[in-house]
A and B are shown apart, each in its own frame.
Chain A
Amino acid sequence: MFRRLLTLVLVIGACSIAQAQKSTPTDMVPVKGGTFVPLYGSNNQTVTVQSFRMDRYPVTNAQYEDFLAKYPKWRKSEVKALFADAGYLKHWASPLGVGPAADKLKDSPVINVSWFAAKAYCECQGKRLPTVNEWEFAALASETKKDASSEPSFYQRSLDWYSQPNPKYLPPVQSAFKNYYGLYGMIGLVWEWTSDFNSALIVGESRQNASLDRQLFCGAGSTGASDVKNYVAFMRYAFRSSLKANYTVANLGFRCVQDVPVQTTAKK
Protein backbone atom coordinates (compact mmCIF):
# COMPACT_ATOMS: atom_id res chain seq x y z
CA MET A 1 0.00 0.00 0.00
CA PHE A 2 2.74 2.36 0.98
CA ARG A 3 4.47 1.57 -2.26
CA ARG A 4 1.41 2.57 -4.21
CA LEU A 5 1.22 5.84 -2.44
CA LEU A 6 4.87 6.35 -3.18
CA THR A 7 4.22 5.68 -6.85
CA LEU A 8 1.47 8.23 -6.84
CA VAL A 9 3.70 10.80 -5.22
CA LEU A 10 6.43 10.01 -7.74
CA VAL A 11 4.12 10.39 -10.71
CA ILE A 12 2.75 13.66 -9.48
CA GLY A 13 6.28 14.73 -8.65
CA ALA A 14 7.50 13.90 -12.15
CA CYS A 15 4.70 15.92 -13.62
CA SER A 16 5.47 18.95 -11.51
CA ILE A 17 9.17 18.67 -12.25
CA ALA A 18 8.32 18.71 -15.92
CA GLN A 19 6.17 21.76 -15.30
CA ALA A 20 8.90 23.46 -13.34
CA GLN A 21 11.41 22.80 -16.09
CA LYS A 22 9.02 24.25 -18.59
CA SER A 23 8.81 27.39 -16.52
CA THR A 24 12.59 27.79 -16.23
CA PRO A 25 13.93 26.42 -19.51
CA THR A 26 17.62 25.62 -19.67
CA ASP A 27 17.99 27.49 -22.93
CA MET A 28 17.09 30.75 -21.25
CA VAL A 29 18.79 32.88 -18.62
CA PRO A 30 17.27 35.25 -16.07
CA VAL A 31 17.95 38.95 -16.44
CA LYS A 32 17.23 40.77 -13.20
CA GLY A 33 15.36 44.01 -13.74
CA GLY A 34 16.83 47.41 -13.08
CA THR A 35 17.12 50.91 -14.45
CA PHE A 36 19.20 52.51 -17.17
CA VAL A 37 19.25 55.59 -19.35
CA PRO A 38 18.54 54.60 -22.94
CA LEU A 39 20.42 56.43 -25.60
CA TYR A 40 17.39 58.17 -27.04
CA GLY A 41 15.32 58.46 -23.90
CA SER A 42 13.42 61.64 -23.24
CA ASN A 43 15.70 64.10 -21.50
CA ASN A 44 18.00 61.43 -20.14
CA GLN A 45 15.15 59.95 -18.15
CA THR A 46 15.85 56.67 -16.46
CA VAL A 47 13.86 53.71 -17.72
CA THR A 48 12.90 50.78 -15.51
CA VAL A 49 13.06 47.28 -16.91
CA GLN A 50 11.25 44.45 -15.12
CA SER A 51 12.99 41.12 -14.62
CA PHE A 52 12.67 38.79 -17.60
CA ARG A 53 14.16 35.63 -19.11
CA MET A 54 16.04 35.74 -22.36
CA ASP A 55 17.10 33.05 -24.83
CA ARG A 56 20.74 32.17 -24.16
CA TYR A 57 21.45 32.16 -27.91
CA PRO A 58 19.92 33.82 -30.95
CA VAL A 59 17.57 31.44 -32.78
CA THR A 60 19.57 29.15 -35.10
CA ASN A 61 18.91 27.88 -38.62
CA ALA A 62 18.25 24.39 -37.24
CA GLN A 63 15.69 25.71 -34.77
CA TYR A 64 14.02 27.70 -37.50
CA GLU A 65 13.84 24.61 -39.71
CA ASP A 66 11.97 22.83 -36.91
CA PHE A 67 9.61 25.75 -36.66
CA LEU A 68 8.82 25.64 -40.39
CA ALA A 69 8.26 21.89 -40.23
CA LYS A 70 5.55 22.52 -37.65
CA TYR A 71 4.10 25.71 -39.08
CA PRO A 72 4.13 25.47 -42.88
CA LYS A 73 2.48 28.84 -43.38
CA TRP A 74 5.84 30.47 -42.53
CA ARG A 75 7.67 28.59 -45.30
CA LYS A 76 9.14 30.72 -48.02
CA SER A 77 6.73 29.22 -50.49
CA GLU A 78 3.68 29.97 -48.36
CA VAL A 79 4.32 33.23 -46.57
CA LYS A 80 2.45 36.32 -47.69
CA ALA A 81 4.54 39.25 -48.97
CA LEU A 82 2.84 41.44 -46.37
CA PHE A 83 4.61 39.47 -43.65
CA ALA A 84 7.99 38.78 -45.27
CA ASP A 85 9.64 40.32 -48.32
CA ALA A 86 11.27 38.49 -51.23
CA GLY A 87 14.59 38.08 -49.41
CA TYR A 88 13.03 35.89 -46.72
CA LEU A 89 15.44 33.02 -45.89
CA LYS A 90 17.35 33.66 -49.09
CA HIS A 91 20.46 32.02 -47.58
CA TRP A 92 18.62 28.70 -47.56
CA ALA A 93 18.99 26.36 -50.53
CA SER A 94 15.41 25.09 -50.27
CA PRO A 95 12.14 26.35 -48.78
CA LEU A 96 12.52 23.80 -45.98
CA GLY A 97 16.11 24.22 -44.91
CA VAL A 98 19.67 25.39 -45.27
CA GLY A 99 20.57 22.59 -47.67
CA PRO A 100 24.19 21.59 -48.50
CA ALA A 101 25.73 24.18 -46.16
CA ALA A 102 23.83 22.75 -43.21
CA ASP A 103 26.88 21.46 -41.39
CA LYS A 104 28.35 24.93 -41.52
CA LEU A 105 25.16 26.81 -40.73
CA LYS A 106 22.85 24.71 -38.60
CA ASP A 107 24.02 26.27 -35.35
CA SER A 108 24.48 29.74 -36.81
CA PRO A 109 21.87 32.39 -36.17
CA VAL A 110 18.97 32.41 -38.58
CA ILE A 111 18.92 35.63 -40.60
CA ASN A 112 16.82 37.05 -43.42
CA VAL A 113 13.71 36.78 -41.27
CA SER A 114 11.05 39.47 -40.99
CA TRP A 115 9.68 40.96 -37.78
CA PHE A 116 6.41 39.12 -38.31
CA ALA A 117 8.20 35.79 -38.73
CA ALA A 118 10.37 36.38 -35.66
CA LYS A 119 7.33 37.38 -33.64
CA ALA A 120 5.39 34.30 -34.72
CA TYR A 121 8.35 32.06 -33.89
CA CYS A 122 8.53 33.44 -30.35
CA GLU A 123 4.78 33.19 -29.85
CA CYS A 124 4.94 29.55 -30.90
CA GLN A 125 7.46 28.90 -28.12
CA GLY A 126 5.22 30.63 -25.58
CA LYS A 127 7.61 33.57 -25.67
CA ARG A 128 7.75 37.01 -27.21
CA LEU A 129 10.28 39.36 -28.80
CA PRO A 130 12.16 41.59 -26.34
CA THR A 131 11.35 45.29 -26.20
CA VAL A 132 14.06 47.72 -27.26
CA ASN A 133 14.58 48.62 -23.60
CA GLU A 134 14.90 44.98 -22.51
CA TRP A 135 17.36 44.24 -25.29
CA GLU A 136 19.48 47.33 -24.67
CA PHE A 137 19.48 46.67 -20.91
CA ALA A 138 20.74 43.11 -21.39
CA ALA A 139 23.30 44.26 -23.96
CA LEU A 140 24.93 46.65 -21.47
CA ALA A 141 26.72 43.72 -19.84
CA SER A 142 30.33 42.73 -20.40
CA GLU A 143 31.76 39.33 -19.42
CA THR A 144 32.02 40.35 -15.80
CA LYS A 145 29.76 43.35 -15.23
CA LYS A 146 26.04 43.94 -15.56
CA ASP A 147 26.63 47.47 -16.71
CA ALA A 148 29.82 48.01 -18.65
CA SER A 149 28.67 51.27 -20.22
CA SER A 150 31.54 53.13 -18.56
CA GLU A 151 34.25 50.85 -19.97
CA PRO A 152 35.81 52.03 -23.23
CA SER A 153 37.07 48.53 -23.98
CA PHE A 154 33.50 47.28 -24.00
CA TYR A 155 32.56 49.66 -26.81
CA GLN A 156 35.66 48.69 -28.70
CA ARG A 157 34.26 45.18 -29.06
CA SER A 158 31.20 46.53 -30.81
CA LEU A 159 33.15 48.96 -32.92
CA ASP A 160 35.47 46.19 -34.06
CA TRP A 161 32.47 44.11 -34.99
CA TYR A 162 30.64 46.89 -36.85
CA SER A 163 33.74 47.64 -38.87
CA GLN A 164 34.03 44.09 -40.17
CA PRO A 165 32.18 42.83 -43.22
CA ASN A 166 29.71 39.99 -42.72
CA PRO A 167 31.45 36.63 -42.96
CA LYS A 168 30.26 34.24 -45.66
CA TYR A 169 29.17 31.78 -43.01
CA LEU A 170 28.09 33.22 -39.68
CA PRO A 171 29.78 31.39 -36.80
CA PRO A 172 27.83 29.05 -34.51
CA VAL A 173 25.97 30.81 -31.70
CA GLN A 174 27.95 28.94 -29.02
CA SER A 175 31.19 30.50 -30.19
CA ALA A 176 30.02 34.08 -29.69
CA PHE A 177 30.87 36.50 -26.89
CA LYS A 178 29.19 35.47 -23.62
CA ASN A 179 28.14 38.25 -21.28
CA TYR A 180 27.55 38.55 -17.52
CA TYR A 181 24.06 37.03 -17.73
CA GLY A 182 25.22 34.08 -19.78
CA LEU A 183 23.78 35.53 -22.99
CA TYR A 184 25.77 34.66 -26.10
CA GLY A 185 26.26 36.94 -29.05
CA MET A 186 24.45 40.06 -27.85
CA ILE A 187 27.41 41.75 -29.52
CA GLY A 188 29.48 40.41 -32.38
CA LEU A 189 27.11 38.00 -34.09
CA VAL A 190 23.97 39.47 -35.67
CA TRP A 191 21.62 42.39 -35.12
CA GLU A 192 18.36 41.36 -33.50
CA TRP A 193 14.68 42.22 -33.90
CA THR A 194 12.77 43.85 -31.05
CA SER A 195 9.02 43.88 -30.51
CA ASP A 196 8.77 47.68 -30.65
CA PHE A 197 11.49 48.36 -33.22
CA ASN A 198 9.11 50.94 -34.67
CA SER A 199 9.38 53.04 -31.54
CA ALA A 200 12.99 53.91 -32.31
CA LEU A 201 14.20 57.36 -33.13
CA ILE A 202 11.21 59.40 -32.27
CA VAL A 203 12.51 62.53 -30.63
CA GLY A 204 9.94 64.98 -29.37
CA GLU A 205 6.81 65.64 -31.38
CA SER A 206 8.09 64.88 -34.81
CA ARG A 207 6.33 66.70 -37.56
CA GLN A 208 7.27 64.19 -40.18
CA ASN A 209 9.38 61.12 -40.46
CA ALA A 210 12.16 62.92 -42.32
CA SER A 211 12.86 65.09 -39.28
CA LEU A 212 13.80 61.99 -37.36
CA ASP A 213 16.66 61.29 -39.67
CA ARG A 214 17.75 64.87 -39.46
CA GLN A 215 17.74 64.73 -35.68
CA LEU A 216 19.93 61.70 -35.90
CA PHE A 217 22.41 62.43 -38.57
CA CYS A 218 22.99 66.16 -38.41
CA GLY A 219 25.80 67.23 -36.12
CA ALA A 220 23.58 69.23 -33.81
CA GLY A 221 20.97 66.53 -33.67
CA SER A 222 23.29 63.82 -32.55
CA THR A 223 24.02 65.69 -29.32
CA GLY A 224 20.56 64.51 -28.37
CA ALA A 225 22.18 61.21 -27.57
CA SER A 226 22.44 60.73 -23.83
CA ASP A 227 25.99 59.47 -24.10
CA VAL A 228 27.79 60.74 -27.15
CA LYS A 229 30.56 58.18 -26.97
CA ASN A 230 27.89 55.53 -27.23
CA TYR A 231 28.15 55.46 -30.97
CA VAL A 232 27.42 51.78 -30.71
CA ALA A 233 23.89 52.03 -29.38
CA PHE A 234 23.42 54.94 -31.76
CA MET A 235 24.11 52.54 -34.62
CA ARG A 236 21.54 50.12 -33.30
CA TYR A 237 18.82 52.76 -32.92
CA ALA A 238 19.57 54.11 -36.36
CA PHE A 239 19.38 50.64 -37.85
CA ARG A 240 16.06 49.86 -36.15
CA SER A 241 14.56 53.07 -37.43
CA SER A 242 15.35 52.07 -40.99
CA LEU A 243 13.47 48.78 -40.77
CA LYS A 244 9.99 47.82 -41.87
CA ALA A 245 8.11 44.87 -40.46
CA ASN A 246 8.35 42.70 -43.57
CA TYR A 247 12.01 43.50 -44.28
CA THR A 248 14.54 40.69 -44.19
CA VAL A 249 18.20 41.56 -43.76
CA ALA A 250 21.31 39.42 -44.15
CA ASN A 251 22.69 40.15 -40.66
CA LEU A 252 19.44 40.53 -38.75
CA GLY A 253 18.22 37.66 -36.56
CA PHE A 254 16.39 37.47 -33.26
CA ARG A 255 16.01 35.79 -29.91
CA CYS A 256 12.97 35.55 -27.64
CA VAL A 257 12.18 36.50 -24.06
CA GLN A 258 9.59 35.60 -21.45
CA ASP A 259 8.12 37.45 -18.50
CA VAL A 260 9.16 36.06 -15.15
CA PRO A 261 5.93 34.68 -13.68
CA VAL A 262 4.74 36.25 -10.44
CA GLN A 263 5.85 33.97 -7.62
CA THR A 264 3.09 31.94 -6.07
CA THR A 265 3.72 31.16 -2.46
CA ALA A 266 0.62 29.04 -1.95
CA LYS A 267 1.99 26.13 -4.01
CA LYS A 268 3.09 23.27 -1.83
Chain B
Amino acid sequence: MKRFTLYLFTLIALGLTACQQEVAHEDDSCCAKPVAEGLPDGTGTLAIPAAALTDMSLYNLDSDWQNQRGEELKLQNFQGKVQLVAMVYTHCSYACPRIVADLKRIEMGLEQYKQEDIGIVLVTMDPARDTPARLLQFAESNNLNPKRWTLLTSEQDNIRELAALLNMKYKMELDGEISHSNIISVLNENGEIIHQAEGLGVEPDETVNAIKSLLQKI
Protein backbone atom coordinates (compact mmCIF):
# COMPACT_ATOMS: atom_id res chain seq x y z
CA MET B 1 0.00 0.00 0.00
CA LYS B 2 2.70 2.38 1.07
CA ARG B 3 4.67 1.63 -2.03
CA PHE B 4 1.62 2.28 -4.11
CA THR B 5 1.12 5.68 -2.50
CA LEU B 6 4.71 6.56 -3.21
CA TYR B 7 4.21 5.46 -6.77
CA LEU B 8 1.14 7.64 -7.03
CA PHE B 9 2.88 10.69 -5.66
CA THR B 10 5.77 10.18 -8.03
CA LEU B 11 3.32 10.08 -10.88
CA ILE B 12 1.65 13.27 -9.72
CA ALA B 13 4.97 14.98 -9.32
CA LEU B 14 6.01 13.88 -12.77
CA GLY B 15 2.77 15.11 -14.22
CA LEU B 16 3.24 18.51 -12.66
CA THR B 17 6.85 18.80 -13.75
CA ALA B 18 5.94 17.91 -17.29
CA CYS B 19 3.34 20.62 -17.25
CA GLN B 20 5.79 23.23 -15.98
CA GLN B 21 8.56 22.18 -18.29
CA GLU B 22 6.30 22.72 -21.23
CA VAL B 23 5.70 26.30 -20.17
CA ALA B 24 9.35 26.99 -19.45
CA HIS B 25 10.38 25.51 -22.75
CA GLU B 26 8.10 27.82 -24.61
CA ASP B 27 9.72 30.85 -22.97
CA ASP B 28 13.15 29.75 -24.03
CA SER B 29 12.44 28.77 -27.57
CA CYS B 30 10.82 31.97 -28.73
CA CYS B 31 12.50 35.08 -29.89
CA ALA B 32 15.53 33.20 -31.11
CA LYS B 33 16.13 35.81 -33.74
CA PRO B 34 17.23 38.22 -34.75
CA VAL B 35 19.96 38.02 -32.15
CA ALA B 36 23.56 38.54 -32.89
CA GLU B 37 25.27 35.86 -30.93
CA GLY B 38 28.50 33.99 -31.50
CA LEU B 39 28.44 30.71 -33.31
CA PRO B 40 26.63 28.50 -30.79
CA ASP B 41 28.79 25.39 -30.81
CA GLY B 42 32.10 27.19 -31.06
CA THR B 43 33.05 25.09 -34.08
CA GLY B 44 32.75 27.98 -36.49
CA THR B 45 35.78 28.91 -38.47
CA LEU B 46 35.13 32.60 -38.02
CA ALA B 47 36.46 34.08 -34.84
CA ILE B 48 34.69 37.40 -35.33
CA PRO B 49 32.82 38.38 -32.19
CA ALA B 50 29.21 39.48 -32.59
CA ALA B 51 30.07 42.82 -31.02
CA ALA B 52 32.06 43.70 -34.11
CA LEU B 53 28.86 43.88 -36.15
CA THR B 54 27.73 47.40 -36.88
CA ASP B 55 24.15 48.51 -36.36
CA MET B 56 23.23 48.36 -40.04
CA SER B 57 25.07 45.14 -40.82
CA LEU B 58 22.88 42.56 -42.54
CA TYR B 59 24.99 39.99 -40.73
CA ASN B 60 23.00 40.80 -37.58
CA LEU B 61 20.58 38.22 -38.95
CA ASP B 62 21.35 35.05 -37.09
CA SER B 63 19.61 32.62 -39.42
CA ASP B 64 21.10 29.35 -40.70
CA TRP B 65 21.91 28.94 -44.39
CA GLN B 66 23.22 26.26 -46.74
CA ASN B 67 25.48 26.79 -49.73
CA GLN B 68 25.56 24.91 -53.03
CA ARG B 69 27.77 22.25 -51.49
CA GLY B 70 25.26 21.65 -48.72
CA GLU B 71 27.54 23.25 -46.09
CA GLU B 72 25.85 25.00 -43.15
CA LEU B 73 26.77 28.62 -42.63
CA LYS B 74 25.76 31.94 -41.09
CA LEU B 75 25.67 35.25 -42.91
CA GLN B 76 28.50 36.35 -40.63
CA ASN B 77 30.72 34.04 -42.64
CA PHE B 78 30.60 36.66 -45.40
CA GLN B 79 32.07 39.32 -43.16
CA GLY B 80 35.45 40.81 -44.02
CA LYS B 81 35.01 40.89 -47.78
CA VAL B 82 33.08 43.05 -50.25
CA GLN B 83 30.03 41.09 -51.43
CA LEU B 84 27.69 41.48 -54.38
CA VAL B 85 24.26 40.08 -53.53
CA ALA B 86 21.26 39.25 -55.72
CA MET B 87 18.21 37.02 -55.39
CA VAL B 88 17.22 34.42 -57.96
CA TYR B 89 15.33 31.20 -58.48
CA THR B 90 16.71 28.65 -60.86
CA HIS B 91 13.44 27.67 -62.52
CA CYS B 92 13.12 31.24 -63.69
CA SER B 93 13.18 31.54 -67.43
CA TYR B 94 13.63 35.27 -67.97
CA ALA B 95 14.88 37.67 -65.33
CA CYS B 96 17.27 35.42 -63.43
CA PRO B 97 19.57 34.54 -66.34
CA ARG B 98 19.65 38.27 -67.02
CA ILE B 99 20.64 39.16 -63.49
CA VAL B 100 23.42 36.56 -63.55
CA ALA B 101 24.59 38.11 -66.82
CA ASP B 102 24.52 41.56 -65.18
CA LEU B 103 26.60 40.26 -62.29
CA LYS B 104 29.11 38.77 -64.72
CA ARG B 105 29.41 42.12 -66.48
CA ILE B 106 30.18 43.73 -63.14
CA GLU B 107 32.69 40.96 -62.47
CA MET B 108 34.43 41.71 -65.78
CA GLY B 109 34.90 45.30 -64.68
CA LEU B 110 36.77 44.05 -61.64
CA GLU B 111 39.34 41.87 -63.37
CA GLN B 112 42.24 43.72 -61.79
CA TYR B 113 41.27 42.37 -58.38
CA LYS B 114 41.99 38.93 -57.00
CA GLN B 115 39.23 36.33 -56.86
CA GLU B 116 39.38 36.38 -53.06
CA ASP B 117 38.77 40.12 -52.72
CA ILE B 118 35.17 40.10 -53.84
CA GLY B 119 32.41 37.59 -53.25
CA ILE B 120 29.20 37.19 -55.22
CA VAL B 121 26.21 35.73 -53.41
CA LEU B 122 23.05 34.45 -55.09
CA VAL B 123 20.17 33.81 -52.69
CA THR B 124 17.27 31.69 -53.86
CA MET B 125 13.67 32.80 -53.32
CA ASP B 126 12.49 29.27 -53.98
CA PRO B 127 13.88 26.97 -51.27
CA ALA B 128 11.35 24.23 -52.04
CA ARG B 129 12.81 23.59 -55.47
CA ASP B 130 16.29 25.09 -55.14
CA THR B 131 18.05 22.43 -53.09
CA PRO B 132 21.82 22.74 -52.65
CA ALA B 133 22.21 20.11 -55.37
CA ARG B 134 20.07 22.11 -57.77
CA LEU B 135 22.02 25.27 -56.92
CA LEU B 136 25.30 23.48 -57.62
CA GLN B 137 23.97 22.35 -60.96
CA PHE B 138 22.89 25.93 -61.74
CA ALA B 139 26.35 27.24 -60.75
CA GLU B 140 28.12 24.72 -62.96
CA SER B 141 25.92 25.21 -65.98
CA ASN B 142 26.46 28.99 -65.70
CA ASN B 143 30.21 28.59 -65.18
CA LEU B 144 30.14 30.35 -61.84
CA ASN B 145 33.59 30.17 -60.26
CA PRO B 146 33.12 28.56 -56.82
CA LYS B 147 35.97 30.65 -55.41
CA ARG B 148 33.89 33.75 -55.96
CA TRP B 149 30.24 32.67 -56.17
CA THR B 150 28.18 31.32 -53.30
CA LEU B 151 24.62 30.17 -53.82
CA LEU B 152 22.48 30.18 -50.71
CA THR B 153 19.27 28.64 -49.50
CA SER B 154 17.46 28.56 -46.17
CA GLU B 155 13.95 28.38 -44.78
CA GLN B 156 11.43 30.62 -46.52
CA ASP B 157 11.04 32.74 -43.39
CA ASN B 158 14.77 33.49 -43.25
CA ILE B 159 14.83 34.28 -46.95
CA ARG B 160 11.92 36.69 -46.62
CA GLU B 161 13.74 38.42 -43.75
CA LEU B 162 16.92 38.90 -45.78
CA ALA B 163 14.83 40.01 -48.78
CA ALA B 164 13.16 42.63 -46.61
CA LEU B 165 16.58 44.04 -45.70
CA LEU B 166 17.67 44.05 -49.34
CA ASN B 167 14.42 45.91 -50.24
CA MET B 168 13.49 42.98 -52.46
CA LYS B 169 9.83 42.31 -53.16
CA TYR B 170 8.75 38.92 -54.39
CA LYS B 171 5.61 36.88 -54.65
CA MET B 172 4.94 33.27 -55.51
CA GLU B 173 2.51 32.97 -58.40
CA LEU B 174 0.19 30.02 -58.70
CA ASP B 175 1.89 28.87 -61.91
CA GLY B 176 5.23 28.28 -60.15
CA GLU B 177 6.86 31.48 -61.35
CA ILE B 178 7.97 34.11 -58.84
CA SER B 179 7.36 37.77 -59.52
CA HIS B 180 10.20 39.75 -58.05
CA SER B 181 12.14 42.95 -58.17
CA ASN B 182 15.66 42.89 -59.58
CA ILE B 183 18.22 44.43 -57.29
CA ILE B 184 21.97 43.99 -57.13
CA SER B 185 23.33 45.09 -53.76
CA VAL B 186 26.90 45.87 -52.82
CA LEU B 187 27.77 45.09 -49.21
CA ASN B 188 30.91 46.42 -47.62
CA GLU B 189 33.14 44.22 -45.49
CA ASN B 190 30.88 44.87 -42.49
CA GLY B 191 27.79 43.70 -44.31
CA GLU B 192 26.25 47.15 -44.77
CA ILE B 193 24.49 48.02 -48.02
CA ILE B 194 26.51 50.75 -49.67
CA HIS B 195 25.07 50.62 -53.17
CA GLN B 196 22.05 49.16 -54.95
CA ALA B 197 21.29 48.88 -58.66
CA GLU B 198 17.66 48.27 -59.55
CA GLY B 199 16.41 46.75 -62.78
CA LEU B 200 17.86 44.54 -65.46
CA GLY B 201 20.54 45.48 -67.93
CA VAL B 202 21.66 48.46 -65.88
CA GLU B 203 25.06 49.77 -66.93
CA PRO B 204 27.58 48.16 -64.59
CA ASP B 205 29.83 51.22 -64.22
CA GLU B 206 28.23 52.69 -61.13
CA THR B 207 28.27 49.39 -59.28
CA VAL B 208 31.85 48.68 -60.40
CA ASN B 209 32.94 52.11 -59.18
CA ALA B 210 31.20 51.61 -55.86
CA ILE B 211 33.10 48.36 -55.36
CA LYS B 212 36.40 49.89 -56.44
CA SER B 213 36.11 52.73 -53.99
CA LEU B 214 35.36 50.22 -51.26
CA LEU B 215 38.37 48.09 -52.12
CA GLN B 216 40.64 51.13 -52.10
CA LYS B 217 39.58 51.84 -48.54
CA ILE B 218 40.33 48.35 -47.28
Q: Do A and B share a complex?
A: yes
Q: Which residues of B contact A83 (CB under 8 A)?
A: 34, 60
- The count of A-to-B residue pairs whose CB atoms sit within 8 angstroms is 114
Q: Which residues of A contact B30 (CB under 8 A)?
A: 123-126
Q: Mark A200-213, 1 if CB is under 8 A from B, else 0.
A: 11111111111010
Measured CB to CB, the nearest residue on chain B to A202 is B179
Kindly state whether residue B182 has any CB partner on chain A within 8 Å: yes
Q: Which of A1-26 contact B (CB under 8 A)?
A: 1, 4-5, 7-8, 11-12, 15, 18-19
Is there contact, CB below 8 Å, between B160 and A18? no
A71 to B5, CA, bound (A): 43
Kindly state whether residue B174 has any CB partner on chain A within 8 Å: yes
Q: Which residues of A contact B35 (CB under 8 A)?
A: 73
A48 to chain B, nearest CB (A): 10
Measured CB to CB, the nearest residue on chain A to B182 is A208
Is there contact, CB below 8 Å, between A212 and B200? no
Kindly state whether residue B22 has any CB partner on chain A within 8 Å: yes
Kindly state whether residue B66 has any CB partner on chain A within 8 Å: no
Q: Which residues of B contact A115 (CB under 8 A)?
A: 164
Q: Mark A69-93, 1 if CB is under 8 A from B, else 0.
A: 0010100000011110000000000
Is there contact, CB below 8 Å, between B31 and A123? yes
A81 to B53, CA, bound (A): 12
A205 to B5, CA, bound (A): 71
Q: Which residues of B contact A158 (CB under 8 A)?
A: none
Kindly state whether residue B16 has any CB partner on chain A within 8 Å: yes
A198 to B157, CA, bound (A): 12
Is there contact, CB below 8 Å, between A4 and B8? yes
Q: Which residues of A contact B60 (CB under 8 A)?
A: 80, 82-83
Q: Which of B182-201 contact A (CB under 8 A)?
A: 182-183, 198-200
Is there contact, CB below 8 Å, between B15 and A12? yes
Q: Which residues of A contact B168 (CB under 8 A)?
A: 198
Q: Which residues of A contact B56 (CB under 8 A)?
A: 80-82
Is the interface on chain A under 10, 10 to 19, 20 to 34, or 35 or more residues? 35 or more
A120 to B30, CA, bound (A): 8
Taking each of B8, B18, B36, B171, which has the highest tally of chain A beta carbons within 10 Å of its own beta carbon? B171
Kindly state whether residue A45 has any CB partner on chain B within 8 Å: yes
Is there contact, CB below 8 Å, between B181 and A208? yes
Q: Which residues of B contact A51 (CB under 8 A)?
A: none
Kindly state whether residue A154 has any CB partner on chain B within 8 Å: no
Given the interface contacts A123-B30, A126-B30, does A202 sit within 8 Å of B180 by beta carbon?
A: yes
B37 to chain A, nearest CB (A): 11
A18 to B168, CA, bound (A): 42
Is there contact, CB below 8 Å, between B11 and A199? no
Kindly state whether residue B144 has any CB partner on chain A within 8 Å: no
Kindly state whether residue A149 has any CB partner on chain B within 8 Å: no
Q: Mark A128-140, 1 if CB is under 8 A from B, else 0.
A: 0000000000000
Q: Which of A98-134 contact B (CB under 8 A)?
A: 115-116, 119-120, 123-126
A125 to B31, CA, bound (A): 9
Q: Which of A137-177 contact B (CB under 8 A)?
A: none
Is there contact, CB below 8 Å, between A82 and B19? no
Is there contact, CB below 8 Å, between A199 and B8? no
Kindly state whether residue A244 has any CB partner on chain B within 8 Å: yes
Measured CB to CB, the nearest residue on chain B to A46 is B174
Kindly state whether residue B26 has any CB partner on chain A within 8 Å: yes
A87 to chain B, nearest CB (A): 15
A82 to B161, CA, bound (A): 12
Taking each of A82, A212, A245, which has the highest tally of chain B beta carbons within 10 Å of its own beta carbon? A82
Measured CB to CB, the nearest residue on chain B to A73 is B35
A80 to B58, CA, bound (A): 11
Pairs across A and B, CB under 8 Å, 11 listed:
A8-B8, A11-B16, A12-B15, A15-B15, A42-B173, A83-B34, A116-B161, A195-B160, A196-B160, A198-B163, A199-B170
Q: Which 7 A-B pairs have the closest CB atoms?
A: A208-B199, A245-B164, A202-B179, A199-B171, A15-B19, A124-B30, A124-B31
